[in-house]
Amino acid sequence: MLQTFHRLDATRGLHAKPANVTRPRRSTKALWEWLSARPEFADNRAMYSDGWTWHPLTAQAFRKHAAHGCVLLTSRSKQTRACCILLAEDEVLTVGFVAGEPSEVGRLMRMSRFLMLQKRRRKLRVLLPAKSPLIRALQRSSFEKTGKFLVYEKFLEE
């Protein structure tokens, strides 16, 4: 077993767009260095989820998601404060990875709820390690715990 995760869901979107949430515009190298040094990166075992499957979170995968507009971030004085990967699947948006200060993560989650309404998705799902301090911040932002699951590593035979 690799890790225990909680799933938190929100079904109410936001009509007002939160301020100071952007997508990376330039090279993602500095953002990747910030992200890979965060404790959340180690807590997630350097993985992110698209909702059902867990994938290695590499610089290349991060760059690809940023190029497709799936990375959101907040910053102050040109310093990154929080970052998430937001992926769409059918009628659900999934925050497959999130890192940063709890108050700034709350801002990212409000933006995700705004995008959920804009993209006409019925649910926003966030997957966090069971011991993450961000769980309380999300519960204060109208998210409810809806599941707990174990992630195992599967070795494929050649």
Q: What is the pLDDT of residues 36-74, one digit of tens each?
A: 999 999 988 899 998 878 899 999 999 999 999 999 999
Q: What's the domain count of the chain?
A: 1
How far apart CA 15 and CA 111 sit, in angstroms, is 10
Kindly give the parts of the chain with pLDDT less than 50: none
**Residue 129 domain-assigned?**
yes
**Residue 157 domain-assigned?**
no
**Residue 158 domain-assigned?**
no
Other C-beta atoms closer than 10 Å to the C-beta of 1 total: 7
Terminal C-alpha separation, the chain: 21
Residue-number span of the structural domain to which 10 is assigned:
3-151
**Residue 34 domain-assigned?**
yes
Look at residue 19 in the predicted model and tell me its pLDDT: 87
**Residue 146 domain-assigned?**
yes
Look at residue 1 in the predicted model and tell me its pLDDT: 55
**Residue 140 domain-assigned?**
yes
**Residue 156 domain-assigned?**
no
Residues facing 125 on adjacent strands: 9, 94
Look at residue 4 in the predicted model and tell me its pLDDT: 87
Which CATH number belongs to the domain containing residue 73 in this structure? 3.40.630.30
Look at residue 78 in the predicted model and tell me its pLDDT: 84
Look at residue 87 in the predicted model and tell me its pLDDT: 94
pTM score over 0.85: yes
Look at residue 155 in the predicted model and tell me its pLDDT: 64
